[in-house]
Amino acid sequence: MLEKDIENLIAQHPNDFFPNANFILQGQQVKLGSCYADILFIDKYERKIIIEVKRGILSRDAAGQVMEYYGLLKEKDPDAIIELILCANTIPHERKHFLENVGIECKELGLSLIQQVATKYNYKFLDDLRKQDDKPQSVMSQKNSAIDFQIDDALVNVWVFQANPNRFDIFNALSDPEVQRHCWQVNQNINKIKKGDIALIWMSGKEAGIYAVAEIASDPSIMGEPPTEEKYWLSNEDKGVERL
């Protein structure tokens, strides 16, 4: 699921996400100065509604972004009454509390709700369309603490690696094209996990599930993370730390 998918579903079916709001779509990727607002609606009170969509955990800089859109639209239409809404899969409680106190509405859109609306309208996710011709290459069977994959007559172990979205912004890290390799802490099966094994990336929490399949690129060793990945830690205490 891409950020564009969430934007499309909100734009096409606003009543499923904002019941009784009666939003009328004015446009997607609306140009405001040198910026582009994700979605612009008009509501039943003739107010203009700017919606910014973020996949994953709502970042700290999202508020500044949507407030800039407010200023640009106000310059263009000084008499307009403008409301701001930030949408994300997960919104930290303290961030939501602050934003709503300064007049920015926050809307948390769980993956289950997005999937439900997509199914209701038979919406095809963009990344699924790209992969629709892909064919499965292996057969899985459960065995002990790992899963065995049969690939080209070779038996490959599959390990589950857990991500806590309250500590690490796994949604956005997985979708970042600059992050080609992910460093993952190993707490168990240190002597069994080997280069060439398969990793299943599991996210815990209320939207728990497997979000990625990866190949393990090295045996466990002490290493640090590149800056492209390190920035997704939500606490400074977790940054700049070498781990097994």
Same domain for 143 and 88:
no
Give the up-direction half-sphere exposure of residue 122: CA atoms within 13 A in the CB hemisphere. Answer: 0
Q: Across-strand partners of 158?
A: 147, 198
pLDDT per residue rounded down to tens, the chain (244 residues): 788 999 999 999 999 999 989 999 999 999 998 889 999 999 999 999 999 999 888 888 888 999 999 999 999 999 999 999 999 988 888 889 999 999 999 999 988 899 999 999 999 887 766 555 444 433 333 333 455 454 444 567 888 888 888 888 887 788 777 888 888 888 888 888 988 888 888 888 777 788 888 899 999 999 888 888 888 888 888 888 898 9
Starting at the edge strand found earlier in the chain, the sheet holding 48-57 runs 24-32, 35-42, 48-57, 82-90, 104-108
Same domain for 162 and 114:
no
244 belongs to a structural domain: no
243 belongs to a structural domain: no
CB 110 within 8 A of CB 62: no
Q: Between the CA of residue 132 and those of 17, 87, 126, 128, 179, what are the distances in Å? A: 28, 28, 10, 6, 24
Q: Which domain holds residue 68?
A: 3-129
202 belongs to a structural domain: yes
Q: Is the pTM above the cut of 0.75?
A: no
Same domain for 162 and 91:
no
Amino acid identity of residue 94, one-letter, is: E
Give pLDDT, residue 139: 34
Q: Which residue in 225, 173, 167 sits closest to 201, CA to CA?
A: 173
Give pLDDT, residue 130: 59
Tokens of 103: 């007049």
Q: Across-strand partners of 199?
A: 159, 214
Q: Which residue in 185, 147, 195, 191 sits closest to 164, CA to CA?
A: 185
Q: What is the dihedral of CA 73, 78, 83, 88, to 10 degrees?
A: 10
Amino acid identity of residue 206, one-letter, is: K
CB 241 within 8 A of CB 235: no
Same domain for 174 and 109:
no
Number of structural domains in the chain: 2
Would you say the C-alpha torsion 154, 155, 157, 158 has a positive or negative sign? positive
Query: How many angstroms separate the CA atoms of 238 and 168, rounded?
Result: 9
Cβ-based neighbour number of residue 84 at 10 Å: 22
Q: What is the dihedral of CA 167, 171, 172, 173, to 10 degrees?
A: 70
Same domain for 160 and 118:
no
Give pLDDT, residue 2: 82
